Structure 1
Amino acid sequence: MRILNLLLMTTAILLMVHMSSNLAAKEYLVDTPQAYQDIADQLKPGDIVKLKNGVWQDFEILLQAKGTEKSVITLTAETKGKVILSGKSNLRLAGEYLEVSGLVFKNGYTPSSAVIEFRRNKDELAYHSRVTEVVIDNYNNPDKQESDYWIALYGRHNRIDHNHIVGKRNKGVTVAVRLNSENSQQNYHRIDHNYFGYRPTFGSNGGETLRIGTSHYSLTDSHTLVENNYFEHTNGEVEIISIKSGKNILRNNVFFEARGTLTMRHGNGNLIEDNVFIGNNVPHTGGIRVINRDQIIRNNYLEGLTGYRFGSGFTVMNGVPNSPINRYHQVDNATIEHNTFINVKHIHLAAGSDKERSAAPINSVFRNNLIVNEQGSHPFSIFDDISGIAFSGNVSNQSVPEAIKSGFSIKDVELRKPDLDILYSTPDPVTAGAKRTAPVLNKAQTGVNWYPKTLAETPFNTGAEHMVQANVKTLLSTIEKAKSGDILVLDAGTFIVPKLISLDKTLTIKAKQTGTVTLAFERTALFEITDGGNLMLEGLTLSGQYSPDAAGNSVIRTQKWGMLNNYRFVMQNCIVEQLDVNHSFHFFSTGKGAFADSIELSGNTFRDVTGDILQLNSEIEDLGIYNAEYVTLADNTFSRVQGAIVKLYRGGTDESTFGPHFSMTNNTLDGTGKGKRNKQAASIYLHGVQVTDISNNSFSDSAPIVLEHTVGEPNSSITNNVFKATSAPVIKELRVNGPHTAIVENNTIETGDKR
């Protein structure tokens, strides 16, 4: 009885202490940055600070205090989602048991190295702290090449969860786990239930969505847990997640139509399990890339992935013998088991094999995996010796290469989709592949429920239609008032535009009847695409007749410098003429730093042009940066063009991007590329382009195609073209010894010879 009484008294005392501490806690509602500063250094365990609803401009928040496990110090919004941090604002946490929630960062950018940082400085870090239900929406430095993080994790035992993170456009990792001090290693951070939305193609290295560690600290263990996150259209570069440390767990995450891969770039002993990759056959959607030692990849589901090489559906890399810490360590003791691959186009084994990367995988297993391809062929490519991978218990519905045949059963596999939203084999006796007992993570379970997960960009022709009379004043007024996605339909007539039309919205401008509308202009350009701008032209005649008598005019240009947003340009069934009032009159010119997701020209006629048609070569510093991801020319006619039809340039040795991609089919070129100012002496000049298809075109009295291979494994094809009074294509390998790797066949060269 005495012991029982003592226990009851102790419990009562502890309860009283806890109640007294809660009674001592305060709640503050602050309405200005100064009001926050006045109480910031007084915060005690259990205190709650609420920021008053409204827009807080240029507010750099430091939350530095010490809470306890049971009495966390909280910074939040008066109403979640109603506190907007804009301008040059950021947040730093330092101390213990801190929690921040309900804030929105938009319409600005961080003045420091991170929007949210779990430290005050290199010595004062955060521990056992949490950022939850925070939104970071297009909060980008206006200088696209200025690098920053959106969230930088330091310290130990911190958590970021249920955040909405979308639209990072400038250089730098979206979320970075930093291991650059002893107190940030073996950190046991948790990253869960976040919505990672659209990250546009960056066009060079530096576009990862999540990175855990760096190569310098990659032999250090991080113990970071990444689970139940949704990655949608995170397209920044080839590595969506870059693991550069050891002993991390990544599980139950969904990658939806995301270009790139989950990459174990450095570090050992990572566990990748129960993740879902849905590509829906979107170009360059990838899965998992394996490098280093002791990696476990199990029970993952991968469907409809189209990526290849380092961005394939599944890649096991070759390593560098005695590799330096920042290169490629040999794959050793990898366990790859019970994964499902449905309509995955490419599984690459011993990928990257070359004179440097000559260390093939060893001591590894590939077992009990299910591979189903409905396209009628297997997905495997083998680039080196794979005897160091033991294959067993795998099932495929297609025959597989002889080198791995003993590890596979070839079976007809029927697929069904029960309530779990992914495909399973039937009948049930097929035991290979991933086993799931719970539904796939739903997007609605991630991020916040009070901020919309909207489309990343406005498609063309989705808004209102405006009829425009043949009057310049009416045209300019309608453009100014139009909303993104709108269509302007022009009556027959000639519009002589007296000023530059600057576009920061998605617009379609078309003729009511093709061939009856002429747009001419009196400035050095007709259209300038600026941040947020996308342009589609249809059925118009574009004339340079009234342009200034000066060199370097253009019909369309992008913002000359500092463009942050990617753009799209489409032109169909138009006539472009009289770009000859002076020399170097170009049709389309890119500014420095501008990046096109796509440029499409189809069914157009170009004649009498003293410059280039598409100038996409402003990035000449050879840093892996380029100006356009997809350039497509189909069914166009080019006559008397003194410059090149396209100049597309990607320099440097970086391998973290997919493009550029160039497609040119069914075009006619007559008298193109022979102007004395065309320094490349080419009708088509492609440098460092990764994917090229030039087919079924007719070249007459024109300069040759010049194709320069630089880095990676470019996929180039020049086929079924006719070259009359035009030299054969010139193909150069600038970084690899030996013959060129392009496919050049079935072309007719002047005399009727086929090459």
Structure 2
Amino acid sequence: MKKLALSLFVLILLAQTSLATTYTIKSEEEFKAILPKVVPGDRIIIANGNYTNWNLTVPTKGTKAKPVLIMAETPGKVIFSGEVNETLFYFTGEFTTLSGITFNACTLLKAKGASGLMVEFNTTSNCRLTDCRFTTNAVKGQFMPLVIISGNGTANQVDNCTFSGNVDNQDVQVKITKDSCPQFTLIENNVFTDKKRVSWANGNGGECVQIGQDPILLGTKEANAIVRSNRFIHCDGENEVISNKSSRNSYVKNYFEANDGELVMRGGHDCIISDNVFEGGTGGIRINGTGHTITNNKINNIKTAIRLMYGMAKGKEDTGFYIAASNCTVTNNRISNATTGILVGDSKNADWTGKFDTKRYPSRVMQDVAPFDNKISGNTFSTTKNQVVTQ
């Protein structure tokens, strides 16, 4: 009986394996036609060629052992370009991977309630965007990203992708609302490069990575995202190369070179900024909020390496357009060739009257709450005029 049961089990496994199918498609219509048939372990191969303005909802559900793979026939030879009016690939399932696709010279439009977008993971789990290229794409509306992770999914990732020469856009956005917050997003081993200053009048909307959008109302949302081992080179889109506006995220082992911008804790609390390398550029690390740990970073040839900011309010309960840096730990960082290594108290008494919507962001307008209760120790400085300055 045991032998019979084992034989039946093996036959079932073989039967399941044999159900996996490879589909090769050459159009949006062919892709949509096979979607109802897709089961765990299937592969959907997009034939080499040039494509434009698809609009696909992809609900596929794989498993950890048998993910659904959507892939270019040859990485780099499946190219989407032209105008984009909606979302090219909108994922709603789980354990699905998109790989090898190039998005080049696309123009993302916004009109009639719809926005052009390359890829969105909405309330997905364990979905992956990997080995894709996003080059010289442009958006025609402010605050438009190329890739969004949204909804209440978990464990999605963007890895080994290239974002180069894109114009006026955000690259990767983790979207947080009052009703949704993706959990445990991983953004890893990507390259962001050659991003010019945005053309928008207020200079905003050009982040490479943004985790959360509203520093006041949603800053305490815990996203638990990890941004790790990415490279940011010549990224000048705006003052925030990375913009953190949520809590308990980690920024680890990233490399920044010659960027006109900083790694910014714009909102949120209890984040980890560790083991990053900054080489040249206009800024290093900027901190607002409570409970951050800034440790083991190497910062060279930047005028002011680490800035702890004044705010309009303090702590996690008060409301302020900026929250004063407090209860942060700044330790074991290596700073060289700086004018000021660590500045405690930047933007003192800045007056924001008329500069933000006080109805949308209910806050005092004076940035007059000094940083407090921060622990600064064990940092090393070389060729630095002022090691720690308090204002």
Give the aligned partner of residue 356 of structure 2. Answer: none
Mapped partners of 1:162, 1:250: distance in 2: 16
Counterpart amino acid of 2:212?
G
Mapped partners of 2:337, 2:129: distance in 1: 38
Offset, 1:221: 0.3
Mapped partners of 2:186, 2:18: distance in 1: 31
Give the aligned partner of residue 522 of structure 1. Answer: none
Higher-Rg structure is: 1
Q: State yes or no: 1:166 paired with 2:164.
A: yes
Whether the 8 Å contact between 2:311 and 2:320 is mirrored in structure 1 is: no
Mapped partners of 1:11, 1:163: distance in 2: 43
Offset, 1:13: 6.0
Judge which range, 130-139 or 17-26, deviates more. Answer: 17-26
Counterpart amino acid of 2:334?
T
Offset, 1:59: 2.1
Give the aligned partner of residue 102 of structure 2. Answer: 104
Give the aligned partner of residue 334 of structure 2. Answer: 340
Offset, 1:15: 5.3
Q: Determine which of 95, 103, 119 is the counterpart of 1:116.
A: 119
Give the aligned partner of residue 292 of structure 2. Answer: 295
Normalising by structure 2, we get a TM-score of 0.86
Give the aligned partner of residue 720 of structure 1. Answer: none
Mapped partners of 1:10, 1:183: distance in 2: 46
SS class of match (1:40): helix
Mapped partners of 2:97, 2:179: distance in 1: 23
1:712-739 per-residue CA deviation (whole Å, 9 max, x = no partner) reads: xxxxxxxxxxxxxxxxxxxxxxxxxxxx
Q: Determine which of 306, 309, 315 is the counterpart of 1:317.
A: 309
Pair 1:327–1:147, CA change in 2 (3 A): closer
Whether the 8 Å contact between 1:113 and 1:147 is mirrored in structure 2 is: no
Counterpart amino acid of 1:210?
V
Offset, 1:31: 1.4
SS class of match (2:92): strand
Give the aligned partner of residue 363 of structure 1. Answer: 373
Offset, 1:34: 1.5
Give the aligned partner of residue 266 of structure 2. Answer: 265
Pair 1:340–1:17, CA change in 2 (3 A): farther
Paired residues for 1:147-158 under 5 Å: 147-154=143-150, 155-158=153-156
Mapped partners of 1:259, 1:217: distance in 2: 27
Whether the 8 Å contact between 2:49 and 2:79 is mirrored in structure 1 is: yes
Paired residues for 1:618-637 under 5 Å: none
Pair 1:298–1:53, CA change in 2 (3 A): same
1:312-336 per-residue CA deviation (whole Å, 9 max, x = no partner) reads: 3210111213686451112221111
Whether the 8 Å contact between 2:343 and 2:390 is mirrored in structure 1 is: yes
Give the aligned partner of residue 243 of structure 1. Answer: 244
Q: Indicate the structure whose relative CO is greater, using CA pairs within 8 Å and at least 6 residues apart.
A: 2
Paired residues for 1:22-33 under 5 Å: 22-33=17-28
Give the aligned partner of residue 372 of structure 1. Answer: 382
Q: Determine which of 300, 304, 319 is the counterpart of 2:301.
A: 304
Counterpart amino acid of 2:98?
V
Q: Which runs of 5+ in 2 are unaligned?
A: 110-114, 351-365
Mapped partners of 1:9, 1:244: distance in 2: 58
Whether the 8 Å contact between 1:229 and 1:253 is mirrored in structure 2 is: yes
Q: Determine which of 42, 64, 82 is the counterpart of 1:47.
A: 42
Q: State yes or no: 1:62 paired with 2:61.
A: no
SS class of match (1:99): strand
Whether the 8 Å contact between 1:109 and 1:115 is mirrored in structure 2 is: no
Q: Determine which of 71, 80, 86 is the counterpart of 2:81.
A: 86
Mapped partners of 1:211, 1:191: distance in 2: 11
Q: What do you get for the CA RMSD once the two structures are aligned?
A: 2.2
Pair 1:10–1:262, CA change in 2 (3 A): farther
1:324-375 per-residue CA deviation (whole Å, 9 max, x = no partner) reads: 645111222111100000112233211111172222222211000001116x
Give the aligned partner of residue 354 of structure 1. Answer: 349
Offset, 1:109: 2.4
Counterpart amino acid of 1:339?
N
Counterpart amino acid of 2:263?
L
SS class of match (1:126): coil
Offset, 1:149: 0.6
Q: State yes or no: 1:135 paired with 2:133.
A: yes
Mapped partners of 1:86, 1:61: distance in 2: 16
Give the aligned partner of residue 353 of structure 2. Answer: none
Whether the 8 Å contact between 1:86 and 1:108 is mirrored in structure 2 is: yes
Counterpart amino acid of 1:217?
L
SS class of match (2:262): strand
Counterpart amino acid of 1:213?
G
Give the aligned partner of residue 390 of structure 2. Answer: 382
Query: What is the percent sequence identity of the aligned residues?
Result: 25
Pair 1:158–1:381, CA change in 2 (3 A): same
SS class of match (1:208): coil
Mapped partners of 1:266, 1:357: distance in 2: 14
Offset, 1:151: 0.8
Q: Which runs of 5+ in 1 are unaligned?
A: 120-124, 307-311, 384-755
Pair 1:57–1:352, CA change in 2 (3 A): same
Pair 1:330–1:49, CA change in 2 (3 A): same
1:565-594 per-residue CA deviation (whole Å, 9 max, x = no partner) reads: xxxxxxxxxxxxxxxxxxxxxxxxxxxxxx
Equivalenced residues, count: 358
Whether the 8 Å contact between 1:218 and 1:266 is mirrored in structure 2 is: yes
Give the aligned partner of residue 274 of structure 1. Answer: 275
SS class of match (1:45): coil
Mapped partners of 1:261, 1:14: distance in 2: 56
Offset, 1:80: 0.8
